[in-house]
Amino acid sequence: MLFATAHPARHYRPAFASTDRAVQRFIADALQPTRQRACSIVQDDKSYTLSFDVPGVAKDQLAIDIEGNTVRIESREGAPRRYRAVYELPQDIDVASSEARLDNGVLTVKLGKLVPVSKATTLNVN
């Protein structure tokens, strides 16, 4: 004897539906620019001083690149946290008088201002 059992109508959800939202969030986070960390910038006549928190990152895990008036600070591969920041300052930076220090998770970068040299030439009037 065969017994037929009636199954109530079922709504089947695709297996990937629950991960679809997670994938969308992952892609949105990956495409967003890196969030800027809070940074303190102070300037005086001779320098700019940038300081911000980088907890858990050692000094050998940070890279600071200076080109003209642009400063790039980022953590290297293998660092426990990811940091990346780019600052464009109004005046070129004197690399020789600049320094960086990491104390108790606070990175302080003191950037010397490059004094512009006048390239004016005097012409004689004939």
The reply to whether CATH 2.60.40.790 applies to domain 37-113 is yes
**Backbone phi, psi, residue 66, to 5°:** -125, 130
Element (H, E) at 74: strand 70-75
* pLDDT tens, position by position, 2-43: 555 555 555 555 555 555 666 676 666 666 555 555 788 899
Give residue 111's pLDDT. 96
What is the phi-psi region of residue 97: left when phi exceeds 0, alpha when psi lies from -120 to 50, beta otherwise? alpha
**Domain residue extents for the chain:** 37-113
Order of strands across the sheet with 40-43? Answer: 40-43, 47-53, 106-113, 93-103
Mean pLDDT of the chain: 81
Residue with tokens 């940074």: 39
Give the confidence band of 125 by pLDDT, cuts at 50, 70, 90: very high
- pTM of the prediction? 0.63
- The arithmetic mean of pLDDT across residues 107-123, rounded, is 91
**3-class state of residue 94 by DSSP:** strand
